[in-house]
Amino acid sequence: MSLWSRADGRAIDEMRPVTIQRHFLEEGEGSVLVKFGKTTVLCVASFTEGVPRWRKDSGLGWVTGEYAMLPRATSDRSSRESVRGKVGGRTHEISRLVGRSLRAAVNMQALGDNTIVLDCDVLQADGGTRTASITGAFVALADAVNWAVAKGIMKPAPILTDSISAVSAGIVDGHAVLDLPYEEDSRADTDMNVVGTGSGKFIEIQGTAEHEPFSRDELGTILDLASIGNAQLAKIQREALLGENAIDARIIGGAW
Amino acid sequence: MSLWSRADGRAIDEMRPVTIQRHFLEEGEGSVLVKFGKTTVLCVASFTEGVPRWRKDSGLGWVTGEYAMLPRATSDRSSRESVRGKVGGRTHEISRLVGRSLRAAVNMQALGDNTIVLDCDVLQADGGTRTASITGAFVALADAVNWAVAKGIMKPAPILTDSISAVSAGIVDGHAVLDLPYEEDSRADTDMNVVGTGSGKFIEIQGTAEHEPFSRDELGTILDLASIGNAQLAKIQREALLGENAIDARIIGGAW
Amino acid sequence: MSLWSRADGRAIDEMRPVTIQRHFLEEGEGSVLVKFGKTTVLCVASFTEGVPRWRKDSGLGWVTGEYAMLPRATSDRSSRESVRGKVGGRTHEISRLVGRSLRAAVNMQALGDNTIVLDCDVLQADGGTRTASITGAFVALADAVNWAVAKGIMKPAPILTDSISAVSAGIVDGHAVLDLPYEEDSRADTDMNVVGTGSGKFIEIQGTAEHEPFSRDELGTILDLASIGNAQLAKIQREALLGENAIDARIIGGAW
Amino acid sequence: MSLWSRADGRAIDEMRPVTIQRHFLEEGEGSVLVKFGKTTVLCVASFTEGVPRWRKDSGLGWVTGEYAMLPRATSDRSSRESVRGKVGGRTHEISRLVGRSLRAAVNMQALGDNTIVLDCDVLQADGGTRTASITGAFVALADAVNWAVAKGIMKPAPILTDSISAVSAGIVDGHAVLDLPYEEDSRADTDMNVVGTGSGKFIEIQGTAEHEPFSRDELGTILDLASIGNAQLAKIQREALLGENAIDARIIGGAW
Amino acid sequence: MSLWSRADGRAIDEMRPVTIQRHFLEEGEGSVLVKFGKTTVLCVASFTEGVPRWRKDSGLGWVTGEYAMLPRATSDRSSRESVRGKVGGRTHEISRLVGRSLRAAVNMQALGDNTIVLDCDVLQADGGTRTASITGAFVALADAVNWAVAKGIMKPAPILTDSISAVSAGIVDGHAVLDLPYEEDSRADTDMNVVGTGSGKFIEIQGTAEHEPFSRDELGTILDLASIGNAQLAKIQREALLGENAIDARIIGGAW
Amino acid sequence: MSLWSRADGRAIDEMRPVTIQRHFLEEGEGSVLVKFGKTTVLCVASFTEGVPRWRKDSGLGWVTGEYAMLPRATSDRSSRESVRGKVGGRTHEISRLVGRSLRAAVNMQALGDNTIVLDCDVLQADGGTRTASITGAFVALADAVNWAVAKGIMKPAPILTDSISAVSAGIVDGHAVLDLPYEEDSRADTDMNVVGTGSGKFIEIQGTAEHEPFSRDELGTILDLASIGNAQLAKIQREALLGENAIDARIIGGAW
């Protein structure tokens, strides 16, 4: 086991280089380009006043997400879902995950009668597109909330209760590793996506035994790695949001 | 806390009454009506020779699942997905889960150049439709494999490596409980679906903080409950398959 | 001709065993499992207050039907219409027939500002799925009307003007026979579906020369058989509705 | 009752003026403009060598039909089914009826490995569009068969076993009448479409009690009228096909 | 070059025979059958009071177009877009062109709170279907406006500011030619569709180098030919509209 | 008129700042980020061996394009075409334009049995998205051809016969101007998109009178401006392709 090493030379608990570029485009109340290694996702937040019809008169806001891949995000071109005329199962599943994860960080009463849509479009995919999407979308969400507060639409209260990020961890060649690129992901025995808060709690855990069922011990090891990853991501998000063009820190609550 | 009790009077680690009725219909190489309390799912296995085009010449078989709800499975009627012209995100997500879960139990080389489709149609829904579907679909799958072995299409080897079942557990009113009906599911803080093997390992874990992020300790408690539930389900599956019209026990491997 | 006999040994004017099981599920204002031999259909009635937009302010109620087959209702699995993204011609045609047939028995003024949808889902198909659907749906419809009367939503008047049932008859191997299973249906020269009332009148006649044009005399013989079948079905419906958990008999008018 | 008369002054057993214009366009192996009064349908036959995949190697040909209405065929414009993205139930039902009716007249063995598609596009609708479609499509079908025989693709045998036409009859204001325009059709108690052969037999009967169940006697009266109408239509078809640019009469068999 | 001639013997600046038949059908506020040689298009105008929702309260009317081809308009049958479940790119493109072109001739304020839809259905296609559609649709539009003025819905003002027609011109075998049939269109180096007004101005120019880029000089020659064509078409439109059943000439403004 | 000036201060014949960034992503045989001012388009070329079925055995290659906008490319979010289930008319129209324009520059025989797809995804839209798409897609196309030549799949011959670019010009407030941003485009009287070659010829001209018909003189002025723009774009393309990581110049023919 001492001779085993990852194809890209990383330690087992080491993330790929992560960058978060805010204000990538001018359109969008938040516009973030996030990279986990080669994986590149454009996360754009759209703020609109009002909520969907079924949410009317509840006094609560709404946050939702849509995920998609450009046709040549991967090494082979895929046909567009618009051309095929329907959204595929994987797209549906990840869109729902993104929205659900971010909603967990939002004080809907504080958001009030407003809706924020997070569009996560994968420009390049090399494993971890859903975790990069959630991580980048949180930053775009914070920018959108900050925009609304600056506009006076909402008050500078902790509308976001904590930060949210996501990372994958899994078992490859019998080794538990953090943040799997496509090369590892495609042959992992177990692959888990963990959405966590800045204060170290869990929002969503999705673990799948791709080839071998996994034990309670293996699960523990994977969760340990994921927690290391999410702690790093929370720090990077914080630096991005409080660096240049810092947001009003009061809009994010908790230990953050 | 001593005064709290579940609306249906169950202990926190008690399943709803579970029944598995094999040979419910004559069509289908496996035809199982499974009930978790009021939740009622018809699971039908269709065995066909040959595999999908992208799997050709691999020497490997294929197993997939499709999940759907009848329009009046719930207390309000929903419009049909066929009439709306597209499959919704939730349906897609559960269909993918059912297929992925069952594939984890199949020795694809032993299955050879054959495909089995598991159709899980929810006749009545009261929470836990996906876990009942997986639990029932495994029995239908075993019946289909048994049928093929009896027909001489495959040899009586452990084509299924273990049994597979699924159960939900979660935190309701601050209490960890097993097998949530709709009434509990709709107000749970955390809801987890756990797919496990007869030998106690995990195939898939999906846990979502619906209202409150959850801690590592809470996760541990939920997994303990789920393991209790899956052990009971494995026993019920075994009794169903080895009772009247018993299958050839050699087709399921492991401790089973 | 004396040597000819039906594959299942029935007399030419003999129905397959027909069973009608009310209250099959708890959801649905009416929930009926109907069997014509192996053909098995779940008929569920959904009662809602209000009518479709185009019917608003007319003072008239509305009744409609939807028919569908589960993918493995037949000996070969069919792909789902939801997955294919459109409802097929045959499904459309039968859904329209079910709704039209039942509407013929409803006093829309007495139904008032209410809608009843009849979902007929074929669990197993062996010929006669549309006739079993109509026959079972009438019982579910009566249960739904009875439910609304019991709830005080409508008054106990003859909201249903008569009972409605349907049966097939046709010419096989030169012999006119009643209630064709798939084996006969697929090679019939002429196949006719007849929807009739409890008092012996016709609601809908659909006769098709599958292989040979038919004469006025042959038509007469087929209609005679169909009338025998519908009379038996009306009796079975009456027994089901007035047996255990009897409905309020005043809601069905006429000789019934 | 002696004072009752039809809005357009016709006798109860009188057809509207029927015209059949062959070779309406140059494209199409048959191209027929048929009128039943104001109802105007363009029926075009397309002959192609080969049969659909599921019919391969059967030695049998194939005939099918497609029916559609132009958006402004009626007094109010309807949106296009192509724009709505799906074919409606009524369109499906009539397309299937057209194909089924014409196939009843075709000797599929004599047609051999060839397919004929009949497109019936309603330019203007005033009741009876399906009966005009079938009547016109038969003439286009005969022209297409004649074309193939003239080309030497098929031999001059009775590929068509008889002529096929269709007409409606029904009960309006208590009076049985033939060939209902929209004004009568929309308020008929019973409406029946009858597809018949040139030799007076039935291919398809579809009768619906729109408002009142009908008796065996009323059915008899309606069928009498329909037979009068179909006999007239067969004569008009014959004159059209054997007049100018006469077809080879040997391709249609029977008494025709 | 002196020996070159067009397959149909026309001069290079000669249109095919153009006919415009008004009142082709009774339904439709305008109903025009237009022919450019064999190309045959039915153009029907539907006038409705009110405008689309997004146009409400603007005081402006709306005019739009829909273009489609019958399945056997061409020498090979195409499948219907309704059956395929979507409108193709070419159909979309031409529908948009028709609507845009006609709107250019409409005084939307004078049209007021009314909508006119132009349906252009190609019965037979031999090149130039979009130019024939626009040319015929203008006449149907004028008839619809005339109908509304006659009804008193609008005042007899110049609601149409000019006449609109369209023609193709292009370079075939190195020769600039007017009004290309399919045989020329399919092998043209450059093909241009020019929509013009009765007073000789341009509404829309679409020129495509199908095989060879074209120069400014070639463009000039093509535009000269198109202007000749559009002048002839304007004259034919005028004769059609002011001949039998002449419209009120005041509804069309300008030199017309 | 001397006081009129453009909102962004440009001269009437001045392009917005144009940048072309090659190798924007690692996936794609060509990957170009092109900007015309704020308008930002990602153009990715996908090279695959083989051609579409209908092109088989022709000895000719194939090039096609697909255009789409991300949901928040504009100031208001649009719903995704994949979610709506169909591609809109505008998207269809521009996709067809992109493919047609690029094909005009390709020697299909030299391309041989290979296909190149150009995906143009608009990240941010401020007018001129179709012209930026074509301009950027040509550079991605050249990179893809260069890649194939470097790989030895094709020989270093002039597979591209010339460079291709596109620009808009139009009449705003009575002034002819080059390269219209959204603010000008939305109120232009005439708007023209001109696709040209590096050697100054035309590939496609699309000019529309949005509010006022235009004259032959105005057309001339607009074309003059467009030629100025396309000459500048050809120079920028050339600098991009022959600068850092220069392509093999032999793959582009003509004066280029």
What per-residue confidence (pLDDT) applies to B1?
47
Contact flag C90-D96 (C-beta cutoff 8 Å): yes
Does ipTM come in above 0.90? Answer: yes
Task: Give mean pLDDT, residues B178-190.
Answer: 94
The C-alpha of F26 sits at a distance from chain E's nearest C-alpha, in angstroms, of: 31
Mutate to test the interface with A, among B205, B214, B215, B230 (most CBs of A within 10 A): B205
Indicate yes or no: CB of A86 within 8 angstroms of CB of B90: no
* CB-CB under 8 Å, C42 with B123: yes
E44 vs D68: CB contact, 8 Å cut-off? no
Which residues is E192 bridged to in the sheet?
A: E169, E207
Q: Which among C249, C20, C44, C247 is positioned nearest to C135, based on CA atoms?
A: C20
D139 phi, psi to nearest 5 deg: -65, -40
Q: What's the gap in Å between the CA of F35 and the closest CA on chain A?
A: 12
Site from E77, E143, E147 to mutate, D interface, most D CB atoms within 10 angstroms: E77
Question: How close E222 gets to chain D, by Cα (Å)?
Answer: 30
The two three-digit tokens of residue F66, written as one number:
């697909």
Say how far apart CA D108 and CA D225 lie, in whole Å: 31
pLDDT one-digit tens code per residue, C111-155: 999 999 999 999 999 999 999 999 999 999 999 999 999 999 999
User: Least CA distance to E192: which residue of chain F?
Assistant: F205
Cβ–Cβ below 8 Å for A82 and F80: yes
Give the HSE-up count for residue A51: Cα atoms under 13 Å, Cβ half-sphere.
16
Contact D42 E124 (CB under 8 A): no
Spans of chain F, pLDDT less than 70:
1-2, 255-256
Nearest-angstrom CA–CA distance, C171 and C180: 9
Q: Which residue of F has its CA nearest to A31?
A: F72
Binding-site positions of D: 90, 128-130
Task: Give the closest-approach CA distance of A123 to chain F in angstroms.
Answer: 8
Annotated binding site of A for phosphate: 90, 128-130
* Predicted structure pTM score: 0.88
CA distance B172 to B8: 14
CB contact under 8 A, D202 and C206: no
Asked whether the beta carbons of C223 and C168 are under 8 A apart, the reply is no
- Model confidence pLDDT, tens digit, residues D78-112: 999 999 888 888 999 999 999 999 999 999 999 99
CB pairs under 8 A between D and E: 85
Mutate to test the interface with B, among C16, C47, C72, C117 (most CBs of B within 10 A): C72
Inter-chain residue contact C92 with D95, CB threshold 8 Å = no
Q: What pLDDT score was predicted for residue A212?
A: 85
Give the span between the Cα atoms of D99 and D65, in whole angstroms. 4
| Cβ contact A73–F119 (<8 Å) | no
Residue owning tokens 């003007």 = C161
State the helix-helix crossing angle for A89-103 and A129-150, rounded to 10 degrees: 40
Consecutive 10-residue runs of chain A (256 residues): their mean pLDDT? 83 97 97 98 97 93 98 96 89 95 95 97 98 98 98 94 97 96 94 95 93 91 97 97 94 80
The full set of domain ranges for chain F reads 18-251
F18-251: which CATH topology?
Ribosomal Protein S5; domain 2 (3.30.230)
- Tell me, what amino acid is at E158? P
Contact D85 E83 (CB under 8 A): no
Which residues of C participate in the annotated binding site for phosphate?
90, 128-130
Mean pLDDT of E126-136: 98
Chain C residue numbers touching B25 (CB-CB < 8 A):
40, 123-124
Q: Is E130 annotated as a binding residue?
A: yes
Q: pLDDT class for E85, splitting at 50, 70, 90?
A: confident
Pairwise CB contact (< 8 Å): B42 & C123:
yes
What pLDDT sits at residue C1?
47
Tell whether E90 is in a known binding site: yes
Average pLDDT over residues B140-145: 98
**Beta-carbon separation of D82 and E77 below 8 A:** no
Separation between Cα atoms, residue D116 and residue D111, nearest integer Å: 9
Cβ pair D161, D192 in contact under 8 A: no
Is the distance from CB of E247 to CB of E140 less than 8 angstroms?
no
Q: How confident is the model at residue D255 (pLDDT cuts 50, 70, 90)?
A: low
Q: Can you give the pLDDT at residue E210? A: 77
Side-by-side strand order, sheet with C30-36: C18-21, C30-36, C39-49, C114-124, C62-69
Question: What secondary structure, in 3-state letters, does chain A show?
Answer: CCCCCCCCCCCCCCCCCEEEECCCCCCCCEEEEEEECCEEEEEEEEEEECCCHHHCCCCCCEEEEEEEECCCCCCCCCCCHHHHCCCCHHHHHHHHHHHHHHHCCECHHHHCCEEEEEEEEEEECCCCHHHHHHHHHHHHHHHHHHHHHHCCCCCCCCCECCCEEEEEEEEECCEEEECCCHHHHCCCCEEEEEEEECCCCEEEEEEEECCCCECHHHHHHHHHHHHHHHHHHHHHHHHHHHCCCCCCHHHECCCC
Asked whether the beta carbons of residue D204 and residue C201 sit closer than 8 angstroms, the reply is no
In the annotated binding site of D for phosphate, the residues are 90, 128-130
**pLDDT tier for residue B212 given thresholds of 50, 70 and 90:** confident
Residues of E in contact with D82 (CB under 8 A): 68, 80-82, 86-87, 91
With beta carbons less than 8 A apart as the criterion, state whether D184 and C168 touch: no
pLDDT of D3 strictly over 80: no
pLDDT band at C47 (very low <50, low <70, confident <90, very high): very high
Range A4-8, long-range pairs (CB < 8 A, 24+ positions): A4/A173, A4/A175, A6/A177, A6/A184, A7/A181, A7/A183, A7/A184, A8/A37, A8/A181
Res C255: pLDDT? 64
Tens of pLDDT, residue by residue over C3-43, are: 789 999 999 999 999 999 999 999 999 999 999 999 999 99
- Percentage of residues in chain D with pLDDT exceeding 70? 98
Please check the confidence at residue B224 and state whether its pLDDT lies above 80: yes
Q: End-to-end CA distance of chain E: give it in Å, rounded.
A: 39
- Determine whether the annotation assigns residue F129 to a binding site: yes
D216-242 vs C216-242: helix crossing angle, rounded to 10? 140
Which residues of C are less than 8 Å from B87 in CB distance? 82-83
Neighbouring chains to C with at least 3 Cβ pairs closer than 8 Å: B, D
Q: Which residues of F touch A44 (CB under 8 A)?
A: 70-72
- CA distance to partner chain B, nearest, from residue A253 (Å): 14
Q: What is the pLDDT of residue A255?
A: 64
Q: What is d(CA B43, CA B122) in angstroms, rounded to the nearest whole number?
A: 9
pLDDT of the residue at F86: 84
Closest residue on chain D to C92 (Cα):
D89
Alpha-carbon gap: C85 to the closest alpha carbon of chain B (Å): 4
